[in-house]
Amino acid sequence: MVNATGRRFVNEGADFRNYTYAKYGRVILNQPDQFAWQIFDSKVTHLLRDEYRIKRITKVTAPTLEALAEKLEGVDSRTFLHEIKSYNAAVDTDTVFDPNVKDGRGTRGVDIPKSNWANTIEQGPFEAYQVGCGITFTFGGLRIDPETAQVLDNGLAPIPGLFAAGELVGGVFFFNYPGGTGLINGSVFGRLAGSSAGDA
């Protein structure tokens, strides 16, 4: 991923998508003009998820990196080409690429490393997708007693007869949201809230 300055700004290979998508959204929000472009070459485009094939995307393609650079709206094309060249030179091509596991195929000698799934970006045609941020969930923010799931007021006193569970409970997630954990949150605190409400 590159930002408006044409530079990489995050370790794209830190973990699988389910563990990074919420966290990376916040990182993109902090970039100039709050967007980024994801760049792929033809070696890996067949691995892209179905969400890259819907109609409501911003996608550009080009046969060369130079032509792609001119199509990346809002990006410094000269810096982008320099960044790709530096990144390509840093890829550990001795380690085998395996998209199904954290393969340890990373980069060496660049300011922002890529820990896994590093591939050179040099085989056209190239594809780029503009990405930004969206609100997926708000996690309501109600504070509950962790022993009973009873909602607490501003003075931290339990509100009689009011229990909460799931995504309207606050304080469970902050820096990241691993995909699917909302289901566990709902199950655990739902059972607790139901049991506590039944006892009330």
Does the pLDDT value for residue 109 go beyond 80?
A: yes
**HSE-up (13 A, CA, CB side) for residue 200:** 15
pLDDT value at position 165? 87
Does the pLDDT value for residue 181 go beyond 70?
A: yes
Pick 96 or 176 by higher pLDDT.
96
- Residue 50 phi/psi, 5° resolution? -60, -30
Contacts of 194 by beta carbon, 8 Å cutoff, 6+ apart: 163, 165
- Mean per-residue pLDDT over the chain, rounded: 91
pTM tops 0.95: no
| Distance in Å from the first CA to the final CA of the chain | 52
Which of 5-9, 43-47, 194-198 has the weakest average pLDDT? 194-198
Q: Which domains does the chain show, CATH number per domain? A: 17-131 (3.90.700.10), 150-199 (no CATH)
**Counting beta carbons within 10 angstroms of the beta carbon of residue 13, is it exposed (0 to 12), middle (13 to 18) or buried (19 or more)?**
buried
The label of the residue with tokens 């000698």 reads: 109
Split at pLDDT 50, 70, 90, the class of 137 is low
Does the pLDDT value for residue 129 go beyond 80?
A: yes
Long-range contacts of the stretch 43-48 (C-beta < 8 A, 24+): 43/119, 43/123, 44/99, 44/119, 45/127, 47/99
pLDDT value at position 169? 82
What percent of the chain is modeled with pLDDT above 70? Answer: 94
d(CA 104, CA 22): 23
pLDDT value at position 149? 92
pLDDT value at position 55? 87
d(CA 50, CA 1): 19
CA 164 to chain centre: 28
